[in-house]
Amino acid sequence: MSEVLLEIRDLKKHFPVRGGISRIGGGAVRAVDGVSLEVRAGETLGIVGESGCGKSTLGRSILRLIDPTSGVVNFSGRNILKLNRSQMRAIRREMQIVFQDPYASLNPRYTIFQTLSEPLEVHGLFDASERKHRVYAILERVGLDPSYASRYPHEFSGGQRQRIGIARALILQPKLMVLDEPVAALDVSVQSQVINLLEDLQDEYQLTYIFIAHDLSVVKHISDRVLVMYLGKMAELASADELFANPLHPYTQALLSAVPVPNPDVRRERQILQGDLPSPANPPPGCVFHTRCPIAEDVCRREIPEWREVKPAHFTACHLVKGGTP
């Protein structure tokens, strides 16, 4: 078994709410509220959940693109939340991100060569000749002609721009890459090409992925394990095969019931969740899912469920899951 590359303990990110003209009072939006997990070197951890569940905030907090409110993020044995700016800059070479929007994440005034060579310049790596060689090599590796280096982002399709985003993250040869819905803005035919590219790059460069997405079929295909989040909290965690075959949390069951089955003769009973997603600024007491849960009981409204292992390597936070069955 590979070593633990990333260890997260009780990670929280609360955004203060300031109200009115005086900009005082208001509490906080609990975007991420007590996430603890481990990611091993070389694996892909998928993170799924509805919009507003905290997926992207978790990914950005792990990289300290936004500073968490509290918790521990151990990367290669070092708590990066304790590092100063210069120490953090050195470790950022090993932690990179690919954003959802492949156009907004690229500077429209930079040529592709400038975009890809900038990380090398920032970290003081190589001379000008070697940087040029590496830019051309990484473009070719992600399936683009090196001659495209002189072009600007608006001259490319969405799929090509996302390949450029991947190349920018990869050029520093990181250990960990956070992929924040990297195919959500792409056509279905292009999605499969980008997913195949990511899988090939992972094998070639021994990368570790945190793959954030809405598309559960994509998550099942690429992930080793899958974390389901709801309102900033962890709902369920298991291997991809186990989670899709035997979902235990009622929220996970509802999510999976919405996945289309590519067989017209097979009909899946759709579980429609009632009500709206509660506000993360005012989460419900007890289990945060109880306001929409079809099987909620009184204990769910009173007590926060314990995060526990109900089957080997299968974790969930639900009062009503007993010995691997809800």
DSSP 156-210: S-HHHHHHHHHHHHHTT--SEEEEESTTTTS-HHHHHHHHHHHHHHHHHHT-EEE
**pLDDT exceeds cutoff 60 at 21:** no
**pLDDT computed for residue 325 by the predictor:** 65
Where are any strands of DSSP class E within 183-305?
A: 208-212, 225-230, 233-239
| pLDDT for 43 | 97
Mean predicted confidence (pLDDT) in 123-139: 95
- For the cut 60, the answer to whether the pLDDT of residue 208 exceeds it is yes
Unique residue bearing structure tokens 């520093």: 172
- Tell me the backbone φ, ψ of residue 176, rounded to 5 degrees: -120, 135
- pLDDT at 152 exceeding the cut of 60: yes
Has residue 23 got a pLDDT over 60?
no
Q: In terms of CATH, what superfamily is 4-94+172-316?
A: P-loop containing nucleotide triphosphate hydrolases (3.40.50.300)
* pLDDT tier for residue 22 given thresholds of 50, 70 and 90: very low
Lowest mean pLDDT among 48-52, 113-117, 240-244: 48-52
Residue 256 tokens read as 């999976």
Per the confidence metrics, is the pTM higher than 0.85? yes
- For the chain, the average pLDDT equals 91
pLDDT > 90: percent of the chain: 78
pLDDT computed for residue 297 by the predictor: 94
Tell me the pairing of strands 78-79 and 70-75: antiparallel
Residue 129, pLDDT > 80, answer: yes
Task: Kindly indicate the confidence band of residue 27, based on its pLDDT and cuts at 50, 70 and 90.
Answer: confident
